[in-house]
Amino acid sequence: MVCFFCLAFLVRIFRASPRQNLGWIAVCSGILGITLLMLYLAPMIAGLTGFVFWGILLVIPSLGFSRVKRLVYQQKYGQASQLMSWLRWLHPADGWLDQPLVFLALDAAQKGNLNQAAQLLQRYEKSPYHSQVLLYWIKADWNNCLAWFNQSVPKSILLKDPLLISYYLRSLGETGDLNGLVQGLEIFENFLVKKGDIITYNLGIMYVLAFCGQTSQVRQLFKGVLSVYSKNFQTFWILTSQMIAGQEELARQQFLNLRLTEDLILCNAIEWRLCHPPKIPNLVLDQSSRHIIFRLKHIIGQEFSGRIKNKFTLKNSYMTLILIALNLGAFALEIYQGGSENLDILYNLGGLVPQEILAGQWWRVVTANFLHYGWLHLASNMMGLYFVGRFVELALGKFRYLLVYFFSGVGAMTLFSLLSIKLGNTGEILVGASAGIMGLVGGIFALFVRDWWQEKSPIATKRLQVIFVVVCLQFIFDRLVPEVSSLSHFLGLVIGFITGGLLLIHRQEATGKR
């Protein structure tokens, strides 16, 4: 598990921006090196040693930084600075040591201490470009910001930094260059998606749609991936789109109400908006920009992740919880009978043995899916079922989800038995929910293939690439661990892909008829 997650993390880093994540590369490489060294020196504790280093140096900083980003999106800069002050010592590379300075500066600016904010940002030596653009953003000085971008920021720097791209796009919209904004997003689109910065990419889309008066699409974005932003931030941009869409007086009144906040950064943004009303899109957009906006609106309309995100609760994924409960119940029965690592007990409870299937005990292709060999086997499968299952359940619907899961699990067990009998390996015993879980991965793959076929968008392409990398890493892991049946995993993946694809086609046809 340690090696799998470290390798997956490294793949993600090298696909995004390795130069900006040298610290993470060193950490992952170090954990892998320590684990492999311990595997040679003390194999009995190699996994535990690697797990401890993995948890302290990779998991805790990663989860902590995700929390920091969420606090920043919510404009809770003081809390973000406090948390980052602790996290930076677990990962003192990649600019983490200086990050609390930035959040302290934003917190000071939010409270009206602009001089203190400027002094703190000047001490942020890791990225002077970020310091300067944040000063322009704090003051809502967009004319000078755009002039600074055009005169002082080399294109080579801009093309490597999603944060700078975001502020550049906004400065174009704030100063009325709508064609530059729309076509600029298209120029940077592939870069933002490739770097894995989905929030920044969708923020760029939101800027385009807001400055072009597309209020319903702006609301849809804030219900989806951009729901991480604060309520005031969302209200500001919805009002901006309404002002451009023809509801100027209503938007102005609500802007005045919003300006009562104690957030000076937001007050400056509102003051700029009221003094510099955005241009009317119909008067300035050329034909090329109109086509781009139409494409973006289509992507927003087809995007399922936002709709799923709003429903991603335990209440709406109870089928997954029921399946987990059944697996836990079967494991408790194994313990009660005498042990989950006792092959005789697994056999008596319904473990898959190909020669017994040949003798007529067909029910084993079902029961084997709910049995597990040891706590680690159970924990890893239930973790996978929890995260993958909830997503597939919400994406496909409960009935289709169960069909994919059981068709994949039972189908893989059946084909595994037939192939084992044909090859003469009839004495093996096979247990676990992993074939069904791999079937769910196959169902996700079918879903992403369909979306890619319909949208041809960079986001859809990236989804396919990510799922392909995950599958490849899984099968590399299977080959390295002799106790794992890579054949049953492969069969589950293929059956899940076929079943999921057929169910999606059927659902699309049924929807078309209605």
pLDDT digits (tens, 9 = 90+) for 418-451: 888 887 766 678 888 888 888 988 888 888 888 7
Identify whether 152 is part of a domain.
yes
Q: Which of 100-114, 220-234, 368-382, 453-467 has the lowest mean pLDDT?
A: 453-467
Co-location of 153 and 238 in the same domain: yes
Angle of CA points 451, 457, 459, to nearest 5°? 80
Q: Answer yes or no: are the C-beta atoms of 181 and 211 closer than 8 Å.
A: yes
Co-location of 357 and 290 in the same domain: no
377-414 residue pLDDT tens:
788 788 888 888 888 888 888 888 999 999 999 999 88
Q: Which residue has the higher pLDDT, 145 or 480?
A: 145
Co-location of 160 and 271 in the same domain: yes
Q: Has residue 8 got a pLDDT over 90?
A: no
On average, the pLDDT of the chain sits at: 84
Q: Which residue has the higher pLDDT, 453 or 484?
A: 453
Domain closes at, from 278, 303, 328: 303
Identify whether 345 is part of a domain.
yes
Number of folded domains that form the chain = 3
C-alpha dist (Å) from residue 428 to 66, 165, 292, 363, 419 = 44, 57, 57, 17, 12
Q: What mean pLDDT is predicted for residues 260-289?
A: 89
Q: Has residue 316 got a pLDDT over 70?
A: no
Domain closes at, from 94, 112, 143: 94
Q: Answer yes or no: are the C-beta atoms of 160 and 172 closer than 8 Å.
A: no
Co-location of 332 and 273 in the same domain: no
Q: Which residue has the higher pLDDT, 486 or 312?
A: 486
Co-location of 196 and 180 in the same domain: yes
Co-location of 376 and 336 in the same domain: yes
Please report, rounded to a whole number, the percentage of residues in the chain having pLDDT higher than 90. Answer: 33
Identify whether 104 is part of a domain.
no
Burial of 41 (0-12, 13-18, 19+ CB in 10 A): exposed
Give 20's contacts (C-beta < 8 A, 6+ positions apart). Answer: 94
The domain in which residue 351 lies consists of 310-513
Angle of CA points 186, 187, 190, to nearest 5°? 80
Q: Note the pLDDT of residue 398.
A: 86
Q: Note the pLDDT of residue 172.
A: 95
Identify whether 115 is part of a domain.
no
Co-location of 287 and 330 in the same domain: no
Q: How confident is the model at residue 306 (pLDDT cuts 50, 70, 90)?
A: very low
Co-location of 389 and 417 in the same domain: yes
Identify whether 233 is part of a domain.
yes
352-386 residue pLDDT tens:
888 888 888 888 889 988 988 888 778 878 888 88
Q: Has residue 514 got a pLDDT over 90?
A: no
d(CA 8, CA 469): 8
Angle of CA points 293, 297, 301, to nearest 5°? 170
SS3 of 352, please? strand
Q: Has residue 134 got a pLDDT over 60?
A: yes
Q: What mean pLDDT is predicted for residues 296-300?
A: 79
- Quickly count: other Cβ atoms within 10 Å of residue 286's Cβ: 11
Co-location of 256 and 321 in the same domain: no
Identify whether 202 is part of a domain.
yes
Encode 128-167: b = buried (16+ Cβ within 10 Å), e = exposed. ebbbbbbbbbbbbbbeebbebbeeebeeeebeebbebbbb
330-356 residue pLDDT tens:
999 988 888 888 888 888 888 888 888
Q: Note the pLDDT of residue 468.
A: 73
Identify whether 116 is part of a domain.
no
228-273 residue pLDDT tens:
899 999 999 999 999 999 888 899 999 999 988 889 999 999 999 9
Q: What mean pLDDT is predicted for residues 5-10?
A: 81
- Quickly count: other Cβ atoms within 10 Å of residue 1's Cβ: 14
Co-location of 233 and 338 in the same domain: no
The number of angstroms, rounded, from the C-alpha of 263 to the middle of its chain's C-alpha atoms is 30
Identify whether 357 is part of a domain.
yes
65-81 residue pLDDT tens:
889 999 999 999 999 99
Q: What mean pLDDT is predicted for residues 131-150?
A: 94
Q: Note the pLDDT of residue 510.
A: 56
144-193 residue pLDDT tens:
999 999 999 988 888 888 889 999 999 999 999 999 999 999 888 878 87
Q: Answer yes or no: are the C-beta atoms of 437 and 381 closer than 8 Å.
A: yes
User: Of 347, 351, 382, 355, which Cα lies nearest the Cα of 364?
Assistant: 351
Q: Note the pLDDT of residue 307.
A: 45
Q: What mean pLDDT is predicted for residues 109-130?
A: 84
Q: Note the pLDDT of residue 126.
A: 66
Q: Note the pLDDT of residue 381.
A: 83
Q: Answer yes or no: are the C-beta atoms of 280 and 244 closer than 8 Å.
A: yes
d(CA 302, CA 454): 9
DSSP per-residue letters across 68-110 = HHHHHHTT-HHHHHHHHHHHTTT---TTGGGHHHHHHHHHHHH
Q: Note the pLDDT of residue 346.
A: 85
**Side chain identity, residue 145:** C
d(CA 449, CA 232): 37
**Side chain identity, residue 106:** L
Q: Note the pLDDT of residue 207.
A: 95
Q: Answer yes or no: are the C-beta atoms of 410 and 365 closer than 8 Å.
A: yes
Co-location of 214 and 294 in the same domain: yes
C-alpha dist (Å) from residue 386 to 225, 318, 380, 391 = 21, 10, 10, 9
Instruction: Report residue 177: phi and psi, to 5°.
Output: -85, 75
Domain closes at, from 303, 337, 365: 303
Co-location of 408 and 451 in the same domain: yes
Please report, rounded to a whole number, the percentage of residues in the chain having pLDDT higher than 70. Answer: 88
